[in-house]
Chain A
Amino acid sequence: MSDQELLQEDIQDQDARDLERNLNTPRSLLAIDVGSVNTRALLFDSVEGRYRFLAAGVSPTTAGAPMFDASEGVRYALDTLQSISGRVLTTADEQLIIPSTREGAGADNLASTLSGAPPLKAVAVGLLERVSLESAQNLLGTSYVNIIESLSLNKGRRIEEQINTIVKERPELVVIAGGTDGGATRSVLNLVNALGMALSLIPADKRPDVLYAGNRALADRVSSFLEPVARVHVTPNLRPSLTDEQLGPAETMLADIFRRHHASRILGIGELNTWSGGNLQPTAMSLGRIARFLSILQRKGTLAVDVGASSTVIAAAFNGDLRLRTFAGLGMGEGLKTILGSRKLDQITRWLPIEVDPGYVLDYIQNKTLMPATLPAEREDLAIEQALAREVIRMALDEAQAHFPRNAKRLHHDLLPLFDPILVSGAVVANAPTIAQSLLMILDAIEPTGVQQVILDKNNLAPALGAAAPVNPGLVTQLLLDPISFLNLGYVIAPVVNARDGSPVLRIRVQYDTGHSNTVEVAMGTLQLIPLPAGRRAKLQIDCFQRADVGAGPGRSLKLDRAVVGGPFGIVVDARGRPLHLPGEARARRETLQRWHLALGR
């Protein structure tokens, strides 16, 4: 099956005839992403028979104060894109030109994504805390929401307290996931009754959307009971049985609620949604679609990480099984408040390769939460931001991995599963002054194991491609991981091994496509580069010592079936150990960090 056919199969809501037409005719694409700090406009088109990413225009997001109109930021981003690309995209009266004209103005399709709205205030309702309530929370964890209350039979809070919270906080979304199919009914109805009373006290124009995904036998009764006080949506049970969880259909409904909620409340979002054929997507969900598709394509685990100013997204997919976690409130701008609340300062400062006063770091973080769009102009500030990026990603992964499948292949039960590729986006990583800094942030934060390709999404294209998949799958499959659009940082070999620093743990034989070969010994504790020119291919044979494991089992050699492709560092061998250990003494730690920076050579 071709990549396009795989993607077709993955996009269940696509009209087959449209798809057929799209696959056969090159169609240009304009993608717009409204983030919390920046709005981006991206242009893709076919050049010499191949789709290419052509240019990006960026503007500050204007969804909030003082403009309260997202379309202004979109317009500025389009103006910038027009001046960079030379392509006319709007008419004199500032209307988008879609589809494109014979003269080459405009674009054939528009795909749009949104992450720059305040997270939806949500209530999770389930019968049992560890079962259906957890599923409701898992569903909410896939989107940009802030869970303000959780109701369950065994939560231990008085019903009055829960009602008071709902009335005070006025949720915008409630997810009910009570009861397995054919299971409890009375208990579910009791919870729904309490919820209904609370919602009846909220002003009519502020009442929430309720997504019912519980015992299907009760769907009609719950709907008719809550409809006078909420907009009720029914999807298949999140927890059809005690052991099964199915989030898929509810995720689609959640995206729909997200879209309609913001379209009706933020000026300009409705217009953007209309331009995109009513298919504006949450950015996280679009990224998730790409991660899932890649995992189907590669038949293995893939990981996509996006670090934004206000939120961080972890999209891990395992042969098509997507585990998406969106951490609204954890990011590199306002989202740093979450880091301050849950990490000790020395967990952040341990990543600083230069000496910076801890008080300055604390002040820096506070100031950054107030002015999230500011950039680090000084070396110390950049070091702080990159230290924070590591902890933001680590914190998101710590929480996300609890939702990864237990049977996902790992080299050690305490470590992340094997992922290939790893795709990372977000300005702090993608726009670092050097790609060595980008790669080191990724390696330190994710601590990958085994053999995997690390890809940097410098222009944040992946969510745009995810959103474009239904309208232009041909473009998506051509561009996905296209080395011109996405920067291949190279293959990383990271053994899991317990050995003394300096002792040999790997011998790697590289068979270049030129016919030459090279054998490299790797010592424990090192970060080492093996030459392989960017874009060139080589086959690898990895011999493991001291029970080192790179994916074939402890001490077993691994011969890769496929060729690896060189990146700007050639092949990177990260034998620093898993989990990564940093010296406790400050000076020694800084020297270690500097040595790692130097090892990447730029």
Chain B
Amino acid sequence: MLAPVTHITALARIRRKRMLPVPGTVLVRAGQTVAATDVVAEAVLAPQHIVIDVVRGLGVPAERAMQFIEREVGEDITRGSIVAKRGMGRELPSKVDGRIVAISNGQILVEVQSKPFQLMAGMPGTVSEVTAEYGVTIEGVGAWVQGLWGNGHISSGTLVVMMEGPDDVFSKDKLDPSQRGTVMLGGYCGDRKALEGAQELQLRGLILSSLATPLIPIARRMAFPVLVLEGFGKLPMNAAAYKLLSTNAGREIAVDAEPFDRFSGERPEAIIGLPAGGQPPVPLDLDTFKIGQRVRVGKAPRLAAIGSLRRLPEGLSRFNSGLRAYGAEVEFENGETSLVPLANIEVIG
């Protein structure tokens, strides 16, 4: 059976496509080294427009309006410049600076100057491929941890570990001014004051094991990336991610807290760039279940627990809820063994 993969790995070659949704300008070259926060491409995603209605402005019928328009598509116009004129007396000036993008049926559509969206690299690495007008493919080597929820921001900084164990809680009293500008590894966050404190401290990023659901809107408003690894509710950090991140304290870490999109595959993640010693393989994004695989459980009662897949029983198994489904016997790190629905586990790769 096909097995979804979550990446928690100390060393991997990571390849990411960073593409604009509309044509724009690519700002980097193939072979160029980039940091996570470097802008690799930009484009105006949501251009603003105004309509200059020549029919109303000059009081002419639509079918005749075109003959009074003195500008063409593609022309830049400035505020006050005349765009249409009828005889000697009636003139129609533009009320904005902009560029004419369409003229139709006596109406002029003007795109006003809009701030472009800047697409960041999202990870440290080298530009391996440029797709003209759209973006780049970046490759890098490093430690890699994927999460489940992100607030949409990207940043990087030095990793500071504020956790004493995987089930630690992130609280305001753990914050101090020396942490300004760092990326912090916190635990479960259930207190809005902790998030607000992190904002005041101008953190560059916050990696949490889990977040209380009511704090989602606050986490979304943070100016820095918030990456949640396990989900919502009071959940410990999975042991594999905790070990990997806590042993990399002091290193530069990139946090791309892009929201999880199951269809496109975009997933929030943190990457610690490491010097490329050889070429480790690009891990699989999808696998099939096999005995011996390390797996993470994604549902109660052992949500976020890490274990080893010991047995794949044939046929359906019955679970505490009464539900019958394909299951897997998983041996957890504390030595306990439990039957878990196959649908509830991801392979760690």
Contact = CB atoms under 8 A, between A and B. Distances in A.
Interface core residue of B23, B109, B301 (most chain A CB under 10 Å)? B109
Given A197-B104, A374-B343, A375-B344, A60 B319 contact: no
A582 interface: no
A191 to B, nearest CB: 11
Contacts of B298: 367, 371, 374
Contacts of A359: 212-213, 233
A373 B141 CA distance: 31
A167 B324 CA distance: 48
A379 B319 CA distance: 9
Contacts of A73: 2
Contacts of A363: 212-213, 231-233
A203 interface: yes
Contact of A374 (B105, B266, B341): B341
A129 interface: no
B51 A163 contact: yes
Interface stretch (A62-70, A145-153, A300-308): A62-70
A189 B106 CA distance: 12
A377 B286 CA distance: 24
B148 A160 contact: no
A377 B107 contact: no
Contacts of B104: 193, 196-197, 200
Interface stretch (B158-166, B241-249, B257-265, B271-279): B257-265
Contacts of B264: 64-65
Interface string A357-401: 001101111110011111111111110000000000000000000
A533 interface: no
A190 B102 CA distance: 15
Interface in B55-90: none
Contact of B286 (A67, A203, A372, A432): A67
B323 A370 contact: no
A362 B213 contact: yes
A431 B232 contact: no
Nearest to B327: A377
Given A64-B262, A382-B321, A370 B49 contact: no
Contact of A377 (B22, B101, B109, B321): B321
B81 to A, nearest CB: 19
B50 interface: yes
A432 B149 CA distance: 29
A519 interface: no
A70 to B, nearest CB: 12
Interface stretch (B29-37, B40-48, B120-128, B197-205): B40-48
A366 B233 CA distance: 9
A159 B213 contact: no
Nearest to B344: A374
A212 interface: no
A378 B301 contact: yes
A201 interface: yes
A434 interface: yes
B233 A201 contact: no
Contacts of B22: 170, 203
Contact of B232 (A60, A190, A366): A366
B116 interface: no
Contacts of A377: 299-301, 319-321, 323, 340-341, 344
Given A62-B2, A159-B51, A164 B216 contact: no
A217 B339 CA distance: 66
B214 interface: yes
Given A201-B101, A431-B323, A362 B262 contact: no
A365 B51 CA distance: 44
A164 B47 contact: yes
A304 to B, nearest CB: 24
Nearest to B103: A197
A434 B47 contact: no
Interface in A146-182: 159-160, 163-164, 167-168, 170
A554 interface: no
Given A164-B48, A203-B23, A370-B231, A379 B263 contact: no
Given A66-B265, A164-B47, A203-B23, A373 B321 contact: no
A59 interface: yes
Contact of B231 (A160, A360, A366, A379): A366
Given A163-B109, A168-B45, A375-B299, A197 B322 contact: no
B260 A370 contact: yes
Interface in B89-103: 101-102
Contacts of B300: 377-378, 380-381
A376 B344 CA distance: 9
Interface in A28-60: 59-60
A66 B16 CA distance: 12
Given A203-B22, A377-B300, A379-B321, A164 B49 contact: yes
Interface in A321-369: 334, 359-360, 362-367
A197 B301 contact: no
Given A201-B102, A373-B343, A378-B301, A366 B216 contact: yes
Interface in A503-548: none
Given A62-B2, A367-B232, A381 B50 contact: no
Contact of B47 (A62, A167, A193, A197): A167
B325 interface: yes
A7 to B, nearest CB: 35
Nearest to A377: B319
A70 B300 CA distance: 30
B286 A197 contact: no
Given A65-B263, A372-B262, A197 B107 contact: yes
A360 B299 CA distance: 13
A380 B122 CA distance: 39
Contacts of A163: 49, 51, 109
A144 B286 CA distance: 27
Given A60-B2, A367-B231, A382-B321, A65 B213 contact: no
Contact of B265 (A59, A64, A193, A334): A64
A434 B303 CA distance: 25
A189 B104 CA distance: 11
Given A168-B46, A362-B214, A382-B322, A200 B102 contact: yes
| Residue among B212, B285, B303, B321 facing the most chain A CB atoms (10 A cut-off) | B321
Interface in B282-327: 285-286, 298-301, 303, 319-325
B48 to A, nearest CB: 6
A432 B323 CA distance: 7
Interface string A274-299: 00000000000000000000000000
B214 A76 contact: no
Given A366-B232, A377-B323, 18 more contacts: A60-B4, A66-B285, A67-B286, A164-B49, A197-B104, A200-B104, A360-B233, A367-B148, A371-B148, A372-B262, A374-B299, A375-B344, A376-B299, A377-B301, A377-B321, A379-B320, A379-B321, A433-B322
What 5 pairs across the A-B complex have the smallest Cβ distances?
A65-B265, A433-B322, A66-B285, A363-B233, A64-B263
Interface of B: 1-2, 4-5, 21-23, 45-51, 101-102, 104-105, 107, 109, 111, 148-149, 212-214, 216, 231-233, 260-266, 285-286, 298-301, 303, 319-325, 340-341, 343-344
9 contacts: A76-B2, A167-B46, A167-B49, A193-B104, A193-B107, A359-B213, A363-B232, A370-B148, A377-B299
